[in-house]
Each structure stands twice: as structure tokens, then as C-alpha cells.
Structure 1
């Protein structure tokens, strides 16, 4: 009995000590902390778990946007974080070589090795970026364009089969296309998600893994509690399967010889560690691929699905886009990357507008001052205290009316100059605030690949199909719900789910093969 009484007293004492500690820490963060004068949500000032909570709810980008509407262009969104909503802050942060990725990125690090996403050392990041850039540069894409086209042709066949069954969920097929293309470009072997259901679980599993990673990025302490594992234990099982799959792809690619083709694998295996000079090891290739495959497979699919969602809701824009594509290419066999594709200015405007309204990465990329840097840091005129993480929320910046007037309307003229478009100065301002691919030395290396793949897909689909919104409730899939949720109340806005790389679903479209329409007209 005495032993049990001792345990009870010790437990009670630990509980009281914990409560007292929380009271002291929270009081300090509200009253004496260097950031205490900055406005923001009350609970965000107390704990970083405020951000993790909304990361788990996959609405962090929307919450941040509304926080800016309520509190202004500088918001304290965590005890040690400031999020900005000005172009000047965006330039000060992401084009500033004094700043590095936040320490929280380390929670996404693999066992023993960093990927280009988790690495914080600038020299190593530069090394990894060069490797990735070789595989996805515009020059490299031209040499493997035929591979990309093969997968796009498969997409057209699958969309044709789906169209005969009713409305088609574009996200389902375009996500699979993304993974098929990037796996083939990386390892010379496609996952064949479009034609084989064996690995189709990858698309949904990756999104759940990203939710977990995003929560850990917002609150690294979630790892210490074990909550991360208990909430996402099923992702761990699939992760072993995914790692095994990537290892098998890498091993089969190695058997062909690293110089068999200029791809991601060849770039990785042909590189050396910048610090030790040793050759790249297979575990490093696998770790890099665990980021490369989802990043390359998902971001383009989000831009494409957003584009099809918007043009289906804006018929005049759709008609103009179809006219440009059909006047440039007579048949889908004529479509290829080159001067004719580059001349499709309206197509490029559609892609930019879709990525502006619904950016593939819609969250905040956190940065902090290097620990060895003791010089004062000023962001958009604000002196930043030591230990503060800073960032700009891409979704919020993209919907700042200072840079994008009427920010929730699909307005292609903002990317064009002329009688109905922007002035040169307005276009320059909008282009400067366009952050879909981030900026600076850590900007997206696959920008050329994304534009090329997306442009080819749009042209191929519009040359083969007439598109229209789905029937009944499916016509609104992918958009907002005015009667259900304030955060997602804009009906025509393509909805994003902040998984770090944005999640999405829909739109559902009615596709009609043009050859069938022509046959009916002749009959």
C-alpha cells in the first residue's frame, strides 16, 4: 500500500509540475517572447501544435489566408514563426542566401541519408540540385519526349474507355499518368498505373504520407510523443512496399548499366559526394527517389486538373483555348515540344492561371537564419529576432489583390498584354509574385518538365475530346461547397488539400471523342 501511495503522489506531483511548466511557458510566449507584439491566433502563440492540427485537417493554407485577412500581412502563426504576405518579403526570404531551410525539415530525413527535400547544408543541396536538374532540364526532356508521349497516348486510350461509362474523374487518370512518366524518366521502367491496378494504391498512400510529413514539419515535437506513428501506422506498412518497389526498379536499371540512358538514375550514379568524394551508393538513390517520384508525379497532375476544372467552368476561355490548339496542330500526331507548342500563348496563360489560383504547393516553405550568422536579419522592414522561422504562404500571396486583382476569378488576361490584358508593369508585378515553383537556389528544378508535360497533355486531350462538366452532383466535384464550409465556400474554386504538395480530387468531366462527333455530323 505504501508503494502504491508513493506512485500516486509521484504521478500527481509530475502532473502538477507539467501543468505549472505549461503555465510558465505559455505566459512567457504571450507576454515576454520577442514575437509577442505580432498579431496572430491565440492558440498559435501558445504552441506549434496549432499548425500541426490544421495540417492534419489539410486546411492550413486556407487558415493562413484568413489569418492574413484578419491580422494583416505579418502574422505570428506559431510561437517562433512569422508568415508574411508581401512580394518584398518573398524576395527577402527566398532569394536570400543567408537563410537556409528550417531545422524542421530534418524530420523528413531518411535513415542515414538526406534527400534534396530534407537536406539543409547548402553545398550538399547544390550538389543534389545539379543531379536532379540534369535529369529534368529542358534539354534532357527533349531527348526523352517520345517516352512522355507514349504515356500520354496511353492516357488518351484510358480516357476514351472511361468516357463510355459516364463522367470521368480526371484526377484519377492524370495522377497515374504523372507517376508513370516520372518512374520511366527516372529508372527507364514505368509503374504502368494507367493500365495495371497493382500499384495504384501509391497515389492515395503518398498523399497520406505527405499529410503526416506536413504535420511533423509544422510541429516536430509530434515525433517525440509517438502520435505520428499511432495516427499513421498504416502508412508504415505501405512504405516498406514502396521502398521495396523503388529498390527493385533501381536494381533492374543498374543491370542495364548506368550509361544506358541519360536519366535520373544515371545522374545519381554518376555523381560523387562533394565532401568525401566517394561514389553515390544505392541507398542514396533510393532515398532520393522517394522524394523525386511523388514530387515529379504529383505537381504536374494538380496543375492539369485545376486547368480542366476552370476551363470547364468558363466556356469562353475553353473555346478560345480549343481554337488556339486546333489551329496550331491539325491532329494529335502533330503535337510535339517545339516552337509551335511554345507559340501557344493562351495555353501558357491557362496553365499559369490554374497554378496561380490553385498552386501545386500551397503552403509555407519555412526558412531560418544560419546558426553561425550573427548579423541582423530584416524581412520586409521587420527586424527578425534570433531563432525565428520566416516564410510566405504561397496560397495567400497568390490571392493578395495587391498583385492579382479579383484574385479568385479565372482571368487569363492577367498573363497577357494588349487591349484587354495587363499593362507591362502589371504583368511584371504578377509574374514576380507568381510562386508556384518557388524561387532562388531552392526553387523547383523540374519547372521545364512540368510545363512541357502539362502542355502536351492539354493539347492531346483537346484534340481528341470535347469536354464538358459532369452531370448532377458530379458537375460540382472539385469545386467548393457554399452551403457546407466557410473555408471552402467558393463554388468555382478548384479545391486544394494542404499535404505540403497539394492534394486534390476531380473534376468530373463528360468526354466525347471528336471522331464520334464528326461521324454523327456526317450521318
Structure 2
């Protein structure tokens, strides 16, 4: 009898517990669907109820495609989470990322690798961000970038030398090389540059296999961080302990960075012209605070991931679009080879700055395939809320603009799915409509974010991308190989997931982006041109 009552009581507790969970779920869902401040905005119904929607598509690496799909279906304002409003307009972009009515969303706290230790990207508190940014800005000043440029060019020249050797494997220099995956080789270059800039030493990614696990480690780290950014509660529930995604490479990545930080700290601050030469002993003039060891590690980790991903994605995208738009490639070849008499001249300065069409081709590649495709969330903090595109948005709501969507907004960009560098060029017969269109395009173009949170390294990124592409165009011609390799990186005709555009370089989004291809074959321009160097 006692045993029977005990079993009955246990089942009663289970039923009550399950019932309570169901009732709570129904209550939360009802509130979010009918009474939440964002209840009037359209969007996928599951997204209105749970952040699981955006977390799931982050894992599937195509959240940016689902947001673009939602805009096409519902309009410029879509609800992509219980408390996330994504707005697709150039004016909203400026209002969200330039005004003081917002701050970074609490989601950024889920990105911390060490609890309570923020870097310049994850800082939510504006005062703390200003302190960190004031120090880091010194490392990325124009004079600092000029001083670092010879080291950057040294690594770019290794990249060029390896391509030359790759071509010279063939008896005749006019033959085409074996296909190369440009995503892989540009990632190796970008990581070597960031190693030199961050720690005064290269990772030797281009010349050794030892640290090439970094590419997989960064991809695994970004995927996990992207998941928690979309659904912070998962991290609080300890889901990270269950995730097996790249756990070995992520751990090895952390050990490598910590080791390089400790080695650099054992040297004099001015031992190398690198990031640490500025921040090791830097003090905030107002507070007297410097960077702790944990902060130095987190900043280093940030610059390795963000710095290498941005420039490698931009370079791979540029190679993709130029290889599929031969008229653009031909125009660039002519421009570079007429502007520079030899490859040694290719460096930042008036000559390179005069190559406006080169910059237009790079910007158009980043418009089509932005290194960060998603929405960088901001929390409305003004007590009375704020107005975005004429709509009042309550305090506490997270807002943002998807960079992929705004870069393909057809009210801003004519024929937005076409690669057209001329859209960034001034024309002699500029009508008022053309001038207004270009102004709106510039307002919407946002590969490095805006306002006080704009990417601190964008000047260095542009220098690396521009010099690399210019040197490639001076030395080589390149083309798409035949067969399946030539299709890697492109969309597939008939695809129903949003990857159906065959002339679009496909990105896999998990906060930053990863990608494959394009595979390209290279040919040296001529023996005399190469030997003269």
C-alpha cells in the first residue's frame, strides 16, 4: 500500500511539473505573440517565440539568408527573435549605429572567453570601450600602419613567391598552374600578417604545416560563439560543455595565443612594431588603468580572428568576382600594369590611391559578399525608446540591420545581385539622380560597421587587400578551372535555400563568415616581367 502511494505521488509530481512547464511555455509564447512591444511586427512565427530560431540557422550557417528571405516576404522591418527587430534601410542603419540611444546588446556577454573580461569588440559599457579604444587606436594610427607596412609587404611577397613557384612547376611559363583554393591561401596570408602585427612574429602559415590547424580552430570558435550570441541562454545552461565542435582545435588555439602573449610580454615593449608595443604599458590618462594579462589575451584573440577573417573573405570574394567578370579583370590588369613600372612600386601612396577602379572592385566584392553578413545587435537604452524609420521602438529592445540584406536592398542599389564596380565610380555626366544614388549607396555600405564601434583595423585591412590584389594583377593572369572545381564557392542553380545565384560568392555565416573557393588557375604574365624583379 505504501509502495503504491509512493509511486502515485511520484507520478503526480511528474505530471504537475510537466504541466507547470507547459503552462509556463504557453504563457511566455502568448505574451511574446500578443503583448510584447514587438508583437505588431511580422516575421517567422517561431522566431517570435524563441531565440532557438536564429540559433538553429546560425548552426546551419545561413541565418543571413533567412533574414533576407524574411525581408522579401514581410518588408523592411522584421522580427527575427522574441526581442530582435531587424530593419533593412540605409536611414535605419545610420540611426541604429550612430546614435547615443543604443548600446551593444547583452548578447555580446555570451561571447566572452573569460567571464567578466571584455575586449574592444565585446565591450557593452561605453566608458570601458572608450578606455580600451583610446589605447588600441594608437596601434592603428596612419603612422603606425605606415611603419608596419614593410612587414606586411614581406608576408605578401611570400604569398606572391609561392604563386610564382606554383606556376614554375610547369615547363613553360605560359602554361596554367594547377587550381588553387583562394580561400585557403588568403587565410594563411591574413593569419601571418595578423601574427606579425599582434605579436611581432608570424604564424608561418604560408611556409609550414605546424599552425595550419588555426583555420579550423577559428572556424570552430566562431561557430560556437555565433550560436551563443544568437541564444545567450544556451551558454548559461552550460551547453558549451556538450559541444564537441572543434573542441581540440579550439583548445589548441587558446594555448597557442596564450603562449605567444607570454613570450611577447617577456620582451621589451619596443622589441617589435606590433600591437603589444602600444598596449603593454599603456595607461588611460584619466584612470591610470592599463590592460590586465587576461585583457591582453582577449584582445589578441579578437585581432587574430576578426582581422584575418575580414581581409581573407574580402580577398577571396574579389578573386571570385573578378574571375567571373573578365571585363573588370582586364580593366584592372591594364590599370595596374600601366600605373606601376614594377611590383616594387606597389605600396600605399599616391600611385596606389590613384587606382580608383581597384578600390571600386574591392568595395563591390565586399558589398556582394560582406565579411560580416549578419546584424550587429544594439539595445535601445534611452528611457523613452527611440524612433527608427518613423517607428517608435521601446527601451530594452534589440535592434540591428543585416549587412547582407542592406547591401542587396534594391531601393538603394540598382540591380543589387550584379557585380558592378562602376556603381562606386564618379562619372563625368553625373545627374542629380546619380549623385543622390551614390550618396545613398555610401550610407548603406557598411563592411566595417559605423560610428564609435567601427572596425579599428579597417585602414590596415584595406592596405593588405589592395596591395595583395595589385601585386597579383601585376604578376599574373588567372582563370576559373573547368569541371566541378570551377563551381566551388558559387551558388547552385535551382538551390532552394537561398544559394541559387551562380554568380554570387557564397558565405557561411556564424558571426564571422567562412567560405570555400574560388579555385583558380594562374599564369605568369611573361618571363621577362618576372625576371626583371
Within the alignment, does 1:74 sit opposite 2:77 as a pair?
Answer: yes
Name the counterpart of 1:286.
297
Once the 2 structures are TM-superposed, how far is the Cα of residue 228 of structure 1 from its aligned partner?
Answer: 3.6
Could you list the per-position Cα deviations for residues 243-270 of structure 1 after superposition, in whole angstroms to 9, with x for gaps in the alignment?
Answer: 2212221222223301223421122212
Could you list the per-position Cα deviations for residues 389-417 of structure 1 after superposition, in whole angstroms to 9, with x for gaps in the alignment?
Answer: 11111110000011111001011110011
Conserved in 2, the CA contact under 8 Å of 1:115 and 1:288? yes
Within the alignment, does 1:340 sit opposite 2:343 as a pair?
Answer: no
Match of residue 146, structure 1, among 143, 147, 150: 150
417-426 vs 109-118, greater mean Cα deviation: 417-426
Measured in 2, the distance between the counterparts of 1:77 and 1:234 equals 25
Could you list the per-position Cα deviations for residues 466-511 of structure 1 after superposition, in whole angstroms to 9, with x for gaps in the alignment?
Answer: 1011221111111101133441000010011112112111100011
Measured in 2, the distance between the counterparts of 1:338 and 1:5 equals 82
Once the 2 structures are TM-superposed, how far is the Cα of residue 12 of structure 1 from its aligned partner?
Answer: 2.8
Name the counterpart of 1:87.
90
Conserved in 2, the CA contact under 8 Å of 1:116 and 1:128? yes
Conserved in 1, the CA contact under 8 Å of 2:217 and 2:253? no
Name the counterpart of 1:128.
132
Could you list the per-position Cα deviations for residues 86-135 of structure 1 after superposition, in whole angstroms to 9, with x for gaps in the alignment?
Answer: 11111111001221000110011232411112111111111222233222
Task: Find the residue that maps to 2:103 and give its secondary structure.
Answer: strand
- Name structure 2 gaps, 5 residues minimum: 170-176
Q: Output the TM-score relative to the length of structure 1.
A: 0.94
- Name structure 1 gaps, 5 residues minimum: none
Task: Find the residue that maps to 1:261 and give its secondary structure.
Answer: coil
Measured in 2, the distance between the counterparts of 1:76 and 1:214 equals 19
Within 5 A, what are the aligned runs for 1:379-394?
379-394=388-403
Measured in 1, the distance between the counterparts of 2:356 and 2:194 equals 26
Measured in 2, the distance between the counterparts of 1:366 and 1:295 equals 17
Once the 2 structures are TM-superposed, how far is the Cα of residue 462 of structure 1 from its aligned partner?
Answer: 1.2
Once the 2 structures are TM-superposed, how far is the Cα of residue 53 of structure 1 from its aligned partner?
Answer: 0.7
Conserved in 2, the CA contact under 8 Å of 1:167 and 1:471? no
Conserved in 1, the CA contact under 8 Å of 2:489 and 2:517? yes
Q: How many residues align?
A: 516
CA shift in 2, pair 1:456/1:37, >3 Å: same
Name the counterpart of 1:188.
200
Name the counterpart of 1:356.
367
Q: Output the TM-score relative to the length of structure 2.
A: 0.93
Conserved in 2, the CA contact under 8 Å of 1:159 and 1:173? no
Name the counterpart of 2:173.
none
Conserved in 1, the CA contact under 8 Å of 2:218 and 2:250? no
CA shift in 2, pair 1:276/1:235, >3 Å: farther
Name the counterpart of 1:409.
418
Measured in 1, the distance between the counterparts of 2:339 and 2:291 equals 45
5-14 vs 179-188, greater mean Cα deviation: 5-14
CA shift in 2, pair 1:11/1:255, >3 Å: same
Match of residue 475, structure 2, among 464, 467, 472: 464
Conserved in 2, the CA contact under 8 Å of 1:159 and 1:168? no
Within 5 A, what are the aligned runs for 1:165-180?
166-180=178-192
Measured in 1, the distance between the counterparts of 2:418 and 2:266 equals 51
Conserved in 1, the CA contact under 8 Å of 2:216 and 2:246? no
